[in-house]
Amino acid sequence: MAQRSVPAPFLTKTYKLVDDPITDDVISWNENGTSFIVWNIADFAKDLLPNYFKHDNFSSFVRQLNTYVTSLFPYFILNPLLIALKVYIPLFCF
């Protein structure tokens, strides 16, 4: 029987965080459900990150996300300034 690969814990936690309708005022999917938007970086870092990760550092979250995004999309680098301007961040399906 073939063994299925399991997504990295970071990806699973990020998916749960974005997919929770309670957090939609801070972070939510775009209209198509193909990317997500961090609407309020300060609240995201202070209130949500510590619930899912061992830190409240937004830059660390972006660096970790970059690790996964650039492994799938080598020419795409996330820019925290762009996130603050509500530019969509692609999130791959798993």
How high is the pLDDT of residue 85? 34
Query: Could you give the C-alpha distances from 64 to 9, 10, 14, 53, in angstroms and in order?
Result: 11, 8, 11, 11
Contact (CB, 8 A) for 28 and 38: no
Instruction: Write out pLDDT tens, residues 4-46.
Output: 677 788 888 988 998 999 999 999 888 877 778 888 889 999 9
Structure tokens at 50: 């510590």
Q: By the 8 A CB rule, do 37 and 89 touch?
A: yes
In this predicted structure, what is the pLDDT of residue 47?
95
pLDDT single digits (tens) 60-88: 998 888 787 666 555 455 544 444 334 34
**13-90: CATH architecture:** Orthogonal Bundle (1.10)
